[in-house]
Structure 1
Amino acid sequence: MAEKYPHVAVEDFQLPDDLEVTLWAKSPMFFNPTNMDVDYKGRIWVNEGRAYRAFRNKFASEYAKKGDRIMVLEDSDQDGTADKSHVFVQDPQLIAPLGIAVIDNKVVVSQPPSIIVYHDVNRDAVFDPKVDKKEELLTGFGGFDHDHSLHAVTVGPSGQWYFNSGNAGTHVVKDKDGFTIRVGSSYKGGAPSVTKKGPNQGGKAGLVSDDGHVYVGSVALRMNPDGTGLRVIGHNMRNSYEETVTSFGDVFQNDNDDPPACRVTWLMEYGNLGFASDDGSRTWLSERRPGQRMSSAHWRQDDPGKIPAGDIYGNGSPTGITFYENGALGEKWEGLLLSGEAARNVVFGYQPKPEGAGFELKRTNFFGIKESALSGKSEVSPNNFRPADITVGADGCIYVADWFDPGVGGHKMADQKLAGAIYRIAPKGKNPQTPAIDLTTTEGQITALKSPAINVRNLGFTRLKAQGEAGIPAVKTLLGEDSDYFKARAIWLLAQMGDKGIAEVKNFLQSTNDPQLKIVCFRALRFIDHKVLEFAQYFSKDDSIAVRREVALALRDSSWEEAGSIIYDLAVQYDGEDRWYLEAIGTAATGKEVELYQALVKQFDAASPVKWSVPMARLAWRLHPDEAVDAFKARAIDGSIDAPLREEMLTALGYIDSEQAALAMVEIAENGPKDTAELAKWWLHSLSSGKWKNYKGKMKGFDKKLNALSDKEDYIVPIDGPALTEPSVEEVLKLTGDPEKGKATVTRCWMCHQIDGQGVEFGPTLTEWGIGRSVEAIADAIINPSEGVAHGFDGTIVKMKSGNTIQGISLSGGGKAKQLVVRVMGGKEVEVNSKGIKEREEMERSLMLSAGQLGLSSQDVADIAAYLRELGKEKSGN
């Protein structure tokens, strides 16, 4: 007999041999977990998403009326299984919130457009509006009712709150100091009622924040707990679901997309992650260069100003992320980064190691579904395992929340029972307990600071900090611990405990040769603005490239007069290879590019740019000032220079907004070596509708794309055409699919999709798309394509004043682009002059033809589903 609320059986999971998994809690104790956090008593607080996308999942509309709930789960008898569950709050404002943090008696919920703080005044874990307080701490975030929206808050080792928001809509947020961030995005989505005029409205690009910088897309932020000090620490992701912050102060995150380019990466401070153009107006699809690999184009890895993409692992849907520093799992697992991958039914594991100025990220499948379970028959499909979040408990175990659904993404929710589960990963044969903590004592506060649970540590941090100098002796003892994580937590805290605490940090700094701990000391002193330039000078010639990187990042907003000599010293130590370090130097030189370039050419002989060393050429590439145009042109035209280095010079020119740069590109197109000349023509065409639009008249015809499609013709996808009898999902599930037959039948999909190197890039690439998707989910996507449109592949209808109609996928809009680029069926692009547009609107249905319109039978769909599942496993290595 089927369970009323099903879950994946623990025997269907695999994980390292020294660990075991148990079912800690399941529905009906809670439903559809989107995110979770743990308090110092070991209770787990869960955001529910029963109202998830009610505009598309009609059965969820009844929950949307009352709003979603925050549940509190408890293992009161400490037997390793939750036995109590109650509602903290149900609020009509909560519509599938994607983030929760329990920070002392503040329950912080990420619900766009706001970060909401529920103050549990009497600390009874039940919100009573007569006693407790609800506060909208910050507001103005886009992405309402959308996956690409506001995500969870986590407390960093400095005591600041870290969080991020996805790229759905534009964010204009004023903090409690009056400082405003403005983050533009051309992408919008979510409930139709809010996309046209509401908070998800896209199209705004090139917005300038109060710090003078331009940020776009998904944005990472930090602020003080009272809502002051809001600052951007990274931007231009697509949708980083969550961040995790180590005790060293390093931030790790994942990022998703529908094409095969999902990733996990270290977020270097102020990093541009490269998803959209720098003003946010153009997608990577519109700027992919001839012959460029998708993964490089997707995150603009060949462009200056973009940090390395990290571990690009392909198709997926990354979700929660956490970092394990200490606890019940033992020393072997310290430094373990865990990233949930809902599309692949797995939690990836990494143990990041410093590598040059960045980190090495080697991926393993830490926790997921056994291959034998995926290939077998069972009443509850293991494919339904969708890890929505991961957290480290106060008992030092790892907890994984399962959303449980046949599919993932596209606003679709197939499991109408709204089942969910939480699994506990512990040492084999052991049942670790949550320690009792007396927060009124110094001993208890130190115990809290040493907690495995990141937000529990803050309980000790704030109370010890409040002691001032009296608390220094207790905190200082952590500097003698074996754990570098404990040392780091102490360093951050001591720096905020007055002059005597600062002195202890300096003393420790003199005694350590560990680069990571030097970085922690520098970060902690920088946080309190203590002699930053003095310490930057001190560390600028450190043996460690990672230490020098950290110095460079700290100088972004310093003037050349203040820090020019330090930046120069850092730059001349660049080896020509380490991309993290190069980007850190570029960050240091922000607004000072000309001064640094001029200083460097004196060192590297500006009179002969063709003889530049690789370090000089790449430093110039990263800085790309107007003054370097002639040098870039000379290197691009000289055939004695290796082709990749010549191509870099074209890229540098393409990032300069000047007539001189455009004319230099024309000269290269006319006179450069054949390969470079052809690429120069592409640059001229690409930029003629963007930053170089004012120079089109001088481009000698190179602004025109060969065989370009005219916006004076109709381009209509036949989605309203006749269909044969439409198969049903239920019929497909009764059949056994044949992968070999599916391989032949799937050729009908080539007109819109690339599959294993064949077909047209119009819709999403499907080579790895079948990973982790059940037959039910694949069949539903083929039969009912409008029920779950892949993010970024929403249709656009453009009606021209000429009377023509263009249907397709918008690749650009806003910013300096005067032409809308639309990819139409067949994979080609139409450049639409905005002056000729009569009306433009987003389509509420998919551009994909249904199974019936493609003439597919139920057996055909079953065969295609079997083939896509096998192909996905083959190509991904899973």
Structure 2
Amino acid sequence: MKSFINRFAPIPVVMSVLLGACTSSSEKKEETSKPLTEAERHLPENAIRGLKVADGLEASLFAHEPMLVNPTNIDIDERGRVWVCEAYNYRNQLNPQNPVKNEGDRILILEDTNGDGTADKQTVFYQGTEINAPLGIAVLGNKVIVSCSPNVFVFTDENGDGKADKKETLFTGIGGIQHDHAIHAFNFGPDGKLYFNFGNAGDSIENKEGKVIRDPEDNIVRNDGKPYRQGMVFRCNPDGSEFEVLANNFRNNYEVAEDSYGTMWQSDNDDDGNRGVRINYVMPYGNYGYTDELTGAGWRQRRVNMEDSIPYRHWHLNDPGVVPNLLQTGAGSPTGMVIYEGNLLPEKYRNQMIHADAGPNVVRSYAVEPDGAGYKATINNIVEGTGDNWFRPSDVCIAPDGSLFIADWYDPGVGGHQVADLDRGRIFRIAPTGSKYSVPSFNLDNPDNAVKALQSPNIATRYLAWQKLHKWDTDAIPALEKLYRSDNSRFRARALWLLGIIPGKGFGYITDALKDKDDNIRITALRIALETKADTIGIVKQLINDPSAQVRREAAIALRHNKSKEAPELWAQLAKQYDGKDRWYLEALGIGADKQWDTFFPAWLAAVNNNWNTTEGRDIVWRARTPQTLPLLVQIVSNPEHNPDNYLKFYRAFDFNPGIDKEKALRSLLEGHHPQQDRINSIVLMLIDETKVPMTPSFKNAIASALNSVEGTQDYVDLVSRYKLRDKNNELLQIIEQSNDKGLQTSAIRVLLSTNNGDVLLKKALEPRDSTSLKIIKALGGYEDKKSKDILQAIVLDTKYPADLRNAAIESFSHGWSGEDRLLALAKENKLPEDVKPVAVKVLSTAYRGEIKKEAAKYLNISTGPVNKISPVAQLVTMHGDATAGAAVFTTYCATCHQVNNKGTDFGPKLSEIGSKLSKEAIYTSIMEPSAGISFGFEGYSFKLKNGTQLLGYISSKTNDEITIKMIGGTEEKHAKSDIVEQKPYDKSLMPEGLAQGMGEKDLVNLVEYLTTLKKKN
């Protein structure tokens, strides 16, 4: 490890000589064809060899270590200098073996002073302890916005020397320190405002005085469902005023990017391993479905009309009120994004998103084209780390000459609160082959020159031009009008944003643009009108029959919360044009009608002459939020020609119209005479508020018929539990005995043990002491409850039971927090029979809590030292294993907590594409040091219930009233918050320590060889 003095010393100009050797060229083909050793592969002079660059482009290395380390985010100013957020101290508390830079992290300026295309000058713009793993930087003239959870700072360089002279707080109170899922980078939009976001750990946001911010409608900006949830997208003035929430309910939306029309795009990360990473067009004020909109429940929670595929279920895409995804890109760790509006790169990348995904080591472009009121896209890879999977692109940025710059975190892994390499970091430049880096000169001494600068692909340059042109006001009109009359649509939009806000003149330009032949110019005009608070109704009237579904989408959104008496009729006319296929258009209608459904919906019914029962009409009924739709929903689902299972979406719609009218409508369905009435009953009974229904004879009959239709299923168990049916113990026992579904068995046991004499029945069922008894014993281990532990303990201590049943009982008994404690207590009290002690030794020696294993060694023959000696990671990565043998090792050691292609236990992150995300180094580290990197969302907690039960697991769902805990073994338990008397963070991974030593080096190497083969299939 280099010393701090050497590692962070100023870089001399001669560094350019070394860096110049890192560019790719045809003259070095022979040299670059030589195989590299593992150590050579990570040297900066070989960095380009590790990249696969798209045809027509080449990569060059602009800067590398020790000039910079661990870059998380970059920006490029009008002079072509690269500004870098370093995060050397990332997760230093979770990785205590890593040295700490006590001076804090740095904001760097890297500059190419001699024009050779490589950085030769490094300036530390700012360093301080409050800069602790920053994740965002935006350079706007002499001001620099740095996002560093829980704060957003604005630094000012007052004398132009490249050093911060003043620091101010713009926002604070955003998540915890060093949190990847909190505040991210800011961008300057074409309207002169700031755009930014935070992930689902942001929670809330405060102004510089520490007061929680409220939106224009006086809603507190907080993740509490009133009305916002999870990650959010924001817009505000540069001073923080006029703060708006533009969309919500994302997981970890990393960076929002706006194009010249003001259209917003971003990526969002899934819960690790679920292949659900997505790219979103951000429809203003949309809900993006990470959690249940109404309750906040997690995506794993059972609901009517659940999506068949986990990547889609992950985002509640079947629910009314969720905006669809543009793309889903599988597993990954998506990071920075930019809209490329330059002309240096080839045509297919122009006017498109360019996006870094650090997980699969790739920078992509998404070729987007209109699709109805929404969009569709294809993927074009620009750079891939095919030769070096330490390539971790953390951000992308556009230079003034139109070339693409990529920040490379460079590490064996990414995210998960882990960092393995502190010494490296790179900045690459991507450009057409042979294109040298140059910075176009410009000045802002008059409007004509400023308009030229406004056309730059570089945002920092456009910012300076925008400020000057805005300040010049009417004096800038001739130059802006000339640009507005050009044939470049995006340049025209940039000019229109400035023209449209000129006092006394702007509305004329807006009116003219509303008649433009270009759909995007009309959209831009409407957006300017909304921001300037122009006559919304008058403008929507002009666009009500626009030939473009995208323009009508914007018109529908423009009616959101508009109290004009004309708004309902205008919305109805827009709704009449819905084609029954375009989900984007339907969700825009939903956003436009928000909080005004009671007037908008009847206006639509009148507009269609009450002829609502069509394909498109039923969709509007499904999306609506008003009690007026309830009788219509009843009519749809009770149609004798409709198979209930084909109309589940309409049953789900009842949930979004809560209240007494909903309950009445659902009860009326129980009194129907549908050919599949039993199935209808089984669905409806899960939607009704069971606490408000009198148990009449007819209602009991409905329950009985419903149970008949779902016998032996999870729905059966849910109905028995929901309605507290005490006479179904034998049926529950039969499910336990006959099912091979572990989750279903556990659910049945949970319900059975909550009833009178359920434990008695289970004990009786164990009397045969045969294979059925063995099945029950294994199932009992999935339920963390005193009754289940009592039954298992009785079997362990009763020598009348066969040894195989008692050994199985010990393994089942020891599951979970309380099981480990109780088994240890039996060992302490010397109550364990001799013939079961070997199994007790086995389970306690692999306890999840190291202190349990250490204590148990005092009473049982347990080794407290490593079972097998394991080589250092640096040596392990040079070894080659047998992937086939590794698959068997996975089944033995890992499948109890992880899944690969739906095989195994769904507890920890799914590993089906882990080889695309992590290098061998990172995989070894995650196995050998599991507590060094715990994926967000999988942090453990210990819980203590009122009845004394203790649980260990992670929170898979949380609502205002309940917490669902996923426990080791994959079972879930839902508990009322009022029943939880204690909840403490568990400071270690839920993955057991010492796993590598337990399996031995040969099996470990084989396992890692297998895991590296698990990659995304193209």
How high is the TM-score relative to the length of structure 2? 0.77
Q: Counterpart in 1 of 2:140? A: 103
**Counterparts of 1:746 and 1:163 in 2: how far apart (Å)?**
42
1:352-384 CA distance string (max 9 Å, x none): 1111111112112221123xx2xxxxxxxx110
- State the SS of the aligned residue for 2:891: helix
Decide whether aligned partners of structure 1 residues 736 and 35 sit closer, same or farther in structure 2, where only a CA change above 3 A counts. same
Whether contact under 8 Å (1:157, 1:489) holds in the other structure is yes
2:748 is matched with: 707
State how 1:666-677 maps to structure 2 within 5 Å: 668=669
Superposition deviation, residue 822 in structure 1 = 1.4
> In the alignment, does 2:561 pair up with 1:561?
no
Q: Residues 16-42 of structure 1: CA distance to partner in whole angstroms, max 9, x if unpaired?
A: 221111001111112110101011111
Give how far 1:642 is off.
5.1
Counterpart position of 2:73: 35
Q: Could you say which residue in structure 1 is the equivalent of 2:512?
A: 507
Provide closer, same or farther for how the CA distance between residues 693 and 789 of structure 1 changes in structure 2, counting only shifts above 3 A. farther
- Select 2:389's aligned residue among 361, 383, 393: 383
CA distance in 1, matches of 2:300, 2:999: 30
Match of residue 695 from structure 1: 692
**Residue matched to 1:189:** none
**Contact kept? 1:646, 1:676, Cα under 8 Å:** no
From 125, 150, 155, give the equivalent of 1:113: 150
Within-5 A mapping of 1:652-667: 652-662=653-663, 664-665=665-666
Shift of 1:497: 2.3
Closer/same/farther in 2, CA of residues 118 and 502 from structure 1, 3 Å limit: same
Q: Say which of 100, 103, 109 aligns to 1:72.
A: 109
Take 2:985 and 2:683, find their aligned partners in 1: how far apart are those partners?
Answer: 29
What is the CA-CA distance between 1:854 and the residue it aligns to? 9.1
Preserved CA contact (<8 Å) 2:69 2:422: no
Match of 1:716 in 2: 816
The C-alpha deviation readout for 1:561-594, integer Å capped at 9, x for no partner, is 2411111111111111111110000001001112
Work out the CA distance in 2 between the residues paired with 1:175 and 1:538.
42
Q: Percent same amino acid at aligned positions?
A: 33
User: Out of 530, 533, 536, which is 2:537 matched to?
Assistant: 533
Which of 269, 277, 280 matches 1:262?
Answer: 277
The Cα shift of 1:229 comes to 0.6
Residues 33 and 388 of structure 1 are in contact (CA less than 8 Å); yes or no, is this contact kept in structure 2? Answer: yes
Per mean C-alpha deviation after superposition, the further-off stretch among 643-652 and 802-811 is 643-652
Query: How many angstroms apart in 1 are the aligned matches of 2:655 and 2:869?
Result: 49
Aligned AA for 2:1015? G
Secondary structure at 1:621's aligned position in 2? Answer: helix
**Does 1 or 2 have the higher relative contact order (CA < 8 Å, sep 6+)?**
1
Hey, what does 2:765 align to over in structure 1? Answer: none
Distance 1:362 1:541 in 2: 30
AA in 2 matched with 1:695? K
Summarize the alignment of residues 581-600 of structure 1 with structure 2, pairs less than 5 Å apart: 581-600=585-604
Q: Which residue of 2 aligns with 1:53?
A: 91
Is 1:518 matched up with 2:522?
yes
Question: What code does the residue aligned with 1:13 have?
Answer: L
Q: 1:175 to 1:559 in 2, by over 3 A?
A: farther
Whether 1:402 and 2:443 are equivalent positions in the alignment is no
How many angstroms apart in 2 are the aligned matches of 1:746 and 1:666? 50
The C-alpha deviation readout for 1:663-717, integer Å capped at 9, x for no partner, is: 54466578687989658746755x68xxx47537768673726626366446616
Counterpart in 1 of 2:549? 545
**Aligned residue number for residue 377 of structure 1:** none
Matches for 1:268-287 after TM superposition, within 5 Å: 268-279=283-294, 281-287=296-302
1:356 aligns with 2:343: no
CA distance in 1: counterparts of 2:307 and 2:475, whole angstroms: 64
Q: 1:224 aligns with which of 221, 225, 237?
A: 237
Contact 1:5-1:27 within 8 A present in 2 as well: no
For residues 429 and 482 of structure 2, what CA distance do their matches in structure 1 show? 32
CA change 1:33–1:233 in 2 (3 A) is: same
Instruction: Flag the 1:230–1:726 CA change in 2: closer, same or farther, 3 A.
Output: farther
Code of the aligned partner of 2:527: R
Range that drifts further, 117-126 or 54-63: 54-63
Deviations 1:274-296 (A, max 9, x none): 10122563211124656632122
8 Å contact from structure 1 (residues 205, 814) kept in 2:
no
State the shift of 1:466 in Å.
0.8
In the alignment, structure 2 segments of 5+ residues that lack a partner are 1-36, 704-718, 723-746, 755-783, 790-814, 818-846, 854-865
State the shift of 1:523 in Å.
Answer: 1.4
| Cα distance, 1:260 vs structure 2 | 1.4
2:474 maps to 1:469: yes
228, 233, 237: which one aligns with 1:215: 228
| Structure 1 counterpart of 2:385 | 369
Residue 644 of structure 1 and its aligned partner are, at CA, apart by 6.0
1:775 aligns with 2:920: yes
Question: Who is 1:188 aligned against?
Answer: none
**2:124 alignment partner in structure 1:** 87
Structure 1 counterpart of 2:557, one-letter code: L
> How many angstroms apart in 1 are the aligned matches of 2:548 and 2:412?
48
Gaps of 5+ in 1: 184-201, 209-213, 374-381
1:862 aligns with 2:868: no
Give the whole-Å Cα distance in 1 for the aligned partners of 2:981 and 2:509. Answer: 68
Cα offset, 1:501, TM superposition: 4.5
Q: 1:353 to 1:679 in 2, by over 3 A?
A: farther
Aligned-partner residue type, residue 748 of structure 2 = N
TM-score, normalised to structure 1's length? 0.89
What is the Cα deviation at residue 602 of structure 1? 4.0
CA distance in 1, matches of 2:450, 2:491: 13
Paired letter, 1:719: Y
Check the 8 A contact 1:143/1:166 in 2, yes or no: no
SS of residue in 1 equivalent to 2:154: strand
Distance 2:384 2:479 in 1: 41
SS at match of 1:180: coil
* Aligned counterpart, 1:631: 632
Are the structure 2 counterparts of residues 99 and 542 from structure 1 closer, same or farther at C-alpha, using a change threshold of 3 Å? Answer: same
Q: Please state if 1:18 is matched with 2:71.
A: no
Q: Which residue is equivalent to 1:211?
A: none
Shift of 1:529: 1.7
Name the CA shift for 1:677/1:239 in 2 (closer, same or farther; >3 Å): farther
1:580 is matched with which residue?
584
Q: Secondary structure at the match of 2:914?
A: coil
Residue number among 420, 429, 445 corresponding to 1:414 in the alignment: 420
1:196 aligned partner:
none
CA distance in 2 between counterparts of 1:97 and 1:35 reads 8
**Number of aligned positions between the proteins:** 825
Amino acid in structure 1 at the alignment position of 2:489: D
| Letter matched to residue 588 of structure 1 | G
Is 2:177 the counterpart of 1:144?
Answer: yes
1:677-692 to 2 correspondences below 5 Å: 681=682, 685=686, 692=689
Equivalent in 357, 360, 365 of residue 341 of structure 1:
357
Are the structure 2 counterparts of residues 675 and 95 from structure 1 closer, same or farther at C-alpha, using a change threshold of 3 Å?
A: farther
What is the distance in 2 between the residues matched to 1:299 and 1:647? 17
Instruction: Tell me the residue number matched to 2:321.
Output: 305
Q: Distance in 1 between matches of 2:995 and 2:54?
A: 45
Q: What is aligned with 1:206?
A: 224
Structure 2 counterpart of 1:98, which letter?
L
Larger Rg: 2
Instruction: Select between 748-757 and 1-10 the one with higher mean Cα deviation.
Output: 1-10
Equivalent of residue 124 in structure 1, options 139, 150, 161 = 161
Change (3 A) 1:648 1:87: same
What is the root-mean-square deviation in Å for CA atoms of aligned residues? 2.8
In 2, are the aligned partners of 1:325 and 1:334 still within 8 Å (CA)? yes
User: Is the Cα contact below 8 Å between 2:223 and 2:230 reproduced in 1?
Assistant: no
Q: Distance in 2 between matches of 1:110 and 1:15?
A: 31
- Structure 1 Cα separation of the partners of residues 53 and 594 of structure 2: 45
Q: Is the 8 A contact 2:572 2:607 kept in 1?
A: no
Q: Secondary structure at the match of 2:917?
A: coil
Question: Are the equivalent residues in 2 in contact too, given 1:724–1:853 (CA < 8 A)?
Answer: no
Structure 1 residues 306, 441: closer, same or farther in 2, change over 3 A?
A: same
